[in-house]
Amino acid sequence: MFGNKEFCPFCGVKLGLGKYRTKENIAICPICAKTLAVNHNVIPQQTINCLAERWKERMMHLEVFQSFNAYREAVAGGMYFRADDKLKMWYASKEKKPKHPVLFRFDEIVNVELKEDGNTVTNGGGIGRSVVGGLLFGGAGAIAGGLTSSKTSKKEIFSLDIIITLRNAYCNSLVVKLLTFGKCKSGDMTYNICMNAAKELGAFLEAIVKSNDSTPQPPNPPSSPLSSTDTQQDPMEQIIKYKELLDKGIIDEVEFKRKKKELLGL
């Protein structure tokens, strides 16, 4: 015996160390695990069928991303946020030029929250999408006004996070850490930089939510690659079809040769 040979069900590579196992104990290679963009601790809870669905979704992301145009942009907590109003999709990435980002639909945003040291400072309410922007970021500086500590005390703050809650089976929230290192005091320069980033991200998310509310979303944004195969069939397959017709006596030798020439462009 040479031991158990295992192959990744997605790419077919022979598996070594560092593989991830699904609920049914099926192993997946680390590269495909990365492509799936599912948290590694989530993979053991997923079935291979669920991951196969996710795989399809990720391939769709890759295809859609080819025509992605960043109409809107925001930078916050060292992350780049970009949105395409035509595709009605957006992404958040630590890379400035990501090659294969995880895309979210505009309508997947459920709620946006700002947390100071883990305590919610402002909350979009999570009731309806249209209130997200209004409550958290709308009006005359809702964020600054919402911070109870900002004017009275100069207490130390160790974390300032924006939590974006999503209606997505593989990623139900995004945490944007505005205070990337160290601490700050309410009202100091670092604090103000964080708040400006929060406002920038807030305006970005608000625009997405508004854009989504204003125009109805088409049910299937990208055209399926399968649709073109009906009209443009492989000439070799076509020739084989005509050969079958010839063998069955439905067409004669002359007709077959003419078709063959035509299909080969001779």
Residues at the interface with Zn ion (CB under 5 A): 8, 10-11, 29, 32
- Cα distance between residue 241 and residue 226, in whole Å: 20
Least separation in angstroms between residue 33's CB and Zn ion is 8
Residue among 8 and 162 whose Cβ is closer to Zn ion: 8
Least separation in angstroms between residue 58's CB and Zn ion is 12
Least separation in angstroms between residue 31's CB and Zn ion is 5
Residue among 59 and 70 whose Cβ is closer to Zn ion: 59
The alpha carbon torsion through 33, 39, 41, 46 (nearest 10 deg) reads -70
Least separation in angstroms between residue 97's CB and Zn ion is 24
Contact by Cβ (8 Å): 146, 242: no
Residue among 29 and 112 whose Cβ is closer to Zn ion: 29
Residue among 31 and 169 whose Cβ is closer to Zn ion: 31
CB-based burial of residue 86 (10 Å sphere; 0-12 exposed, 13-18 middle, 19+ buried)?
Answer: exposed
Contact by Cβ (8 Å): 264, 235: yes
Least separation in angstroms between residue 29's CB and Zn ion is 3
Q: Which of 173, 166, 120, 109 is nearest to 143 (CA)?
A: 120
Residue among 7 and 158 whose Cβ is closer to Zn ion: 7
CB atoms within 10 A of CB 253: 8
